[in-house]
Amino acid sequence: MEYLLEILTGIAGLIIIAMVVLKPKLFWPILIFVLVGTAGLMIRGYCFTDEYVVGCLLLGALIVLAKRKKINFPKIHFAHRWVFLLLIVYMVLQSFYGLVLWQDWRITRWILYYGMLGMLLFVIPKKDFPVPHPKQIALIITGSALFYFSSYLIYGLFCENVRGIGRFAMQGAEWSGSAYAVFPLVIAIPAAIILLNQRSRYQFVVVPKDHWHFYRYLQYVLLFYQPIPLSKVQY
């Protein structure tokens, strides 16, 4: 199963590079989908999946800029961008310090993470990658969250009914624990509320007319992964 996940992740990264190179306007939709839809995925117990996919996305963007000869240091006119850049530099230095201090190569994940956040500062100002309309962003976030939690639920059912292992056994090895896995809700619920307050021809696809069905579905996924009390665990 691990080899299959590694192969699928590798193929997904190559597809993303090709999509961004061929259609640069897909940069932001793919970035939003990846950040929400791959949160918590693990390979061999390590959370490198989203960093790898975002890295492929940025590589595709750099290829586009190189072809158009637009790779340069953008002018930073706003103070908040300078603050953001200084924060990134600080976090990268702290990650290197933690790597040396703890001698744990897994900390390189955070070096890559903050490094790619810094690279976004150079991609964001480019007109080659237009930012979607706020309503479209809310739609992408909500759709990505539904995809994520559906995959989370289906994978748990697959592990229990096909692979013969408990849904909690794969946590920490193939998917993050329940506490970390629900982080997308922090951004998914506000996005869903935005869609409910606006008329959208795609609203019925992502958020049902009776929006409580959406929240009931999320509650079902959360209850499915509710930790079992230690008194009921069979050894």
Give just the sign of the alpha carbon dihedral 179, 143, 24, 11.
Answer: positive
Task: Please give the torsion angle defined by the CA atoms of residues 135, 19, 39 and 194, in that order, rounded to the nearest 10 degrees.
Answer: 0
Q: What is the Cα–Cα distance from 204 to 35, expressed in whole angstroms?
A: 23
Q: Kindly report the pTM of this predicted structure.
A: 0.82
Q: What is the Cα–Cα distance from 35 to 8, expressed in whole angstroms?
A: 17
User: How does residue 231 score in pLDDT terms, banded at 50, 70 and 90?
Assistant: very low
Find residue 121's DSSP bridge partners: none
Find residue 43's DSSP bridge partners: 46
Q: What phi and psi values does residue 47 have, to the nearest 5 degrees?
A: -90, 70
pLDDT per position as a tens digit, 113-170: 999 998 888 887 778 899 999 889 998 998 898 899 889 889 888 988 888 888 888 8
